Structure 1
Amino acid sequence: MAPNSKDIPIPDQGNKNVNLNEIKLPADIGTDWEFKRPWVWKNIIGFILLHLACIYGIYRAIYYAKSITSIWALLVLFGSGEGVTIGGHRLYAHKAFKAKFLTRLALILLHTVAGQNCMYIWVRDHRLHHKYSDTDADPHNANRGFFFSHMGWLMSRKHPAVIEKGKTIDMSDLEADFLVMFQKFFYKPMYVLFALAIPIAVPVYLWNENYYDALFVVYFARYILTLNITWLVNSAAHLYGTKPYDKNFGAVESWFVSFATVGEGWHNYHHAFPWDYRAGEYGTHYSLTTFIIDLLEKFGFVYDLKTTPGNMIEQRVYRTGDPSCKEKVQDGKIIDINGNEIDPKLQLKLKG
């Protein structure tokens, strides 16, 4: 991948005012296997009921709701998901590019529809996850297993390390953003309006869908499916896959997660180069989200896209990557670890 001379990334996500000597490194924090997290039963009961409502909503979508209602639910799911991946993740958490006011407004509204807390808290937790990945200071420490990193972390009390280190995360850039702080202050009424009322009203008033089906299909089923797709990045993308860029990370490359999340599953690369707006080495070829960002740039809605120089990727692969995951050149063709040929224009030509 050719380097982009426009972008020199700054990977530090920490608080510049904090004495680094007073902060333990991730390796020092580790995972305390004897620590027992108290369960939050109202959250447990809430998630059980929401998942049952989701299953019932899928049932209503198959047998009772109008087809156009299911299509609308999928569109809302996709749009809200992009509010998380483009807005919360790549724009605000990692500052991988810049966006104009109306673009930021649209992304924050879509992020609100996703219902994954306000942008401010989402970004704080994600920056904390990167800084202390797979330790007790990581909100969804994958070392505690699939269920915990998927949703169990939301059913139990935070580890004290999460609270302590969360206070050290620099959030000054979000605090200076009017839209982010407006959403933070008015998050609950905004959620009711944009995640619940409007998505349900559209099928009810535009094509006379039954209110009952609109509620269960467009809200409950759509919402819980969105959550579980997002959670796969915390769970499956930290447990099952390859580590071609850094074998020391828990994060892995997962084609399944990338397919489900339209581009967020190339997680070993992302943790190695978190500032890269592509969130994967191969760009749009493997990420619909990256394609959308490129399209937004073409029309002037976003700009200053950060990428990683090809020589930096190559050096990282040969310095820290898992040797068994390196791509090889065979008979003049670039072959991935599964034996499939990769488009030479998209593939960094690694030495076999």
Structure 2
Amino acid sequence: MGSYLTETGELNTENECSKDNIKPLDSLPRKLQIIYRYVISFSCLHLAALYGLYLCFNSAKWATIGFGILLYIFAELGITAGAHRLWSHRSYKAKLPLQIILMVFNTLAFQNTAITWIRDHRLHHKCSDTDGDPHNASRGLFYSHIGWLMTKKSERVIKQGKTLDMSDIYSNPVLRFQKKYAVPFIGTVCFVLPTVVPMYFWGETLNNAWHVNTLRYVLNLNATFCVNSVAHKWGYKPYDRNLLPTQNVLVSLAALGDGFHNFHHAFPWDYRSSELGNKKYNITTWFIDFFAWVGWAYDLKTVSKKNVKARAERTGDGTDLWGHNL
């Protein structure tokens, strides 16, 4: 098995698992080992989030709601601009101050440590939608959305994960810090501070502050989950009709630009992660462009319009993002 990262630092877009893993859906092993403590944890989180939504309409202060929206954006950027485009795909480079900001934002999102997230995402691209993919969309919408986190990883996922080149990530001191101090650091950044700040600065109640932040956290989770599930099922395929990932505007709005998913799987090294350099509804690209202007982001990788159009003409379904004929 070859290295997952090419010598130029770009991701190998070839699905290396296809020959070994892809089978007719009916022949895939369907028995899953459920981890019941995770089922209970996610269930309780979503119930608490629903209560937080109720409090937003009933008793939470506007400042608390606005603070939650701001934290949602920061946390989402920690996934999209940080764990995804910077560290998973190396589609651009970031100086230390920006890396620290993105690590803190990623901690606010708390989707495991960034190192674990990156490993799973690189494996997702290496074995996309096969049985070596951690959230294999071929297993259905619920599994690719959240079910994969409630079940034990398959032997094939574990086996393929061991073949990844993660040397660049394991040697990153910013990400090593997050992993080393994961429990106190994530607990403080994701849960304690977002609860204490509204209580201290504008007199919010503990009940409101805690549950509104839980709502924010669960919305962040599901925005990312939708990229793995909804954007692998509904939408258009202007660049490669043979891939499951699609262009989905609603997912891109929720995930700050990461729902242009057919483009992304066709060209995973493009820092814009959107078609033809389109920056509409792509807050993450705006964020990276701003720090490129500041000088903290550099070596931004892109695909030329000529190559994008050639790929669309060769393998696309004849539509654009909105489903219109190209």
Aligned-partner Cα distance in 2 for 1:28–1:161: 10
User: Within the alignment, does 1:305 sit opposite 2:300 as a pair?
Assistant: yes
User: Within the alignment, does 1:240 sit opposite 2:226 as a pair?
Assistant: no
Aligned-partner Cα distance in 1 for 2:16–2:196: 50
Letter paired with 2:94: A
- The answer to whether the 8 Å contact 2:17/2:132 transfers is no
Question: Residue 280 of structure 1 aligns with which residue?
Answer: 274
Per-residue deviation, 1:178: 0.5
Q: Deviations over 1:257-306 (max 9, x none)?
A: 11111211110000000000000123322411111111111111211100
For normalisation by structure 1, the TM-score amounts to 0.86
Aligned-partner Cα distance in 2 for 1:338–1:131: 30
Per-residue deviation, 1:24: 6.0
For normalisation by structure 2, the TM-score amounts to 0.92
5 Å-filtered alignment, 1:20-39, equals 25-31=17-23, 32-39=27-34
Letter paired with 1:28: D
Counterpart among 338, 341, 344 of residue 324 in structure 2: 338
Question: Residue 319 of structure 1 aligns with which residue?
Answer: 314
User: Within the alignment, does 1:267 sit opposite 2:253 as a pair?
Assistant: no
- The answer to whether the 8 Å contact 1:96/1:276 transfers is yes
User: Within the alignment, does 1:144 sit opposite 2:132 as a pair?
Assistant: no
**Structure 1: tracts of 5 or more residues without a match:** 1-7, 15-22, 328-335, 340-351
Letter paired with 1:292: F
The RMSD of aligned alpha carbons is: 1.8
Letter paired with 1:82: L
- The answer to whether the 8 Å contact 2:16/2:126 transfers is no
Change (3 A) 1:311 1:61: same
Letter paired with 2:151: S
- The answer to whether the 8 Å contact 2:237/2:320 transfers is no
Q: Secondary structure of the equivalent of 2:164?
A: coil
Per-residue deviation, 1:33: 2.8
Per-residue deviation, 1:10: 2.8
- The answer to whether the 8 Å contact 1:134/1:143 transfers is yes
Q: Deviations over 1:107-130 (max 9, x none)?
A: 001101101011110000000000
User: Within the alignment, does 1:221 sit opposite 2:215 as a pair?
Assistant: yes
Letter paired with 2:244: G
Counterpart among 52, 62, 67 of residue 72 in structure 1: 67
Counterpart among 100, 116, 119 of residue 105 in structure 1: 100
Aligned-partner Cα distance in 1 for 2:178–2:13: 22
**Structure 2: tracts of 5 or more residues without a match:** 1-7
Aligned-partner Cα distance in 1 for 2:11–2:191: 37
Aligned-partner Cα distance in 2 for 1:55–1:337: 34
Change (3 A) 1:245 1:294: same
Per-residue deviation, 1:27: 3.9
Per-residue deviation, 1:148: 0.6
Question: Residue 258 of structure 1 aligns with which residue?
Answer: 252
User: Within the alignment, does 1:202 sit opposite 2:197 as a pair?
Assistant: yes
Per-residue deviation, 1:9: 6.9
Question: Residue 56 of structure 1 aligns with which residue?
Answer: 51
Counterpart among 289, 296, 300 of residue 294 in structure 1: 289
Per-residue deviation, 1:250: 0.8
Aligned length: 315
Per-residue deviation, 1:39: 0.8
Per-residue deviation, 1:11: 2.9
- The answer to whether the 8 Å contact 2:16/2:127 transfers is no
Q: Which runs of 4+ in 1 moved over 3 A?
A: 336-339
Aligned-partner Cα distance in 2 for 1:175–1:256: 34
- The answer to whether the 8 Å contact 1:87/1:111 transfers is yes
Per-residue deviation, 1:197: 1.2
Counterpart among 98, 122, 129 of residue 127 in structure 1: 122
User: Within the alignment, does 1:83 sit opposite 2:78 as a pair?
Assistant: yes
Change (3 A) 1:206 1:144: same
Query: Which structure has the bigger radius of gyration?
Result: 1
Change (3 A) 1:13 1:122: farther
- The answer to whether the 8 Å contact 1:9/1:306 transfers is no
Question: Residue 343 of structure 1 aligns with which residue?
Answer: none
Change (3 A) 1:84 1:326: closer
Question: Residue 185 of structure 2 aligns with which residue?
Answer: 190
Aligned-partner Cα distance in 2 for 1:113–1:11: 27
- The answer to whether the 8 Å contact 1:13/1:127 transfers is no
Q: Secondary structure of the equivalent of 2:12?
A: coil
User: Within the alignment, does 1:166 sit opposite 2:166 as a pair?
Assistant: no
Question: Residue 225 of structure 2 aligns with which residue?
Answer: 231
Aligned-partner Cα distance in 2 for 1:24–1:263: 27
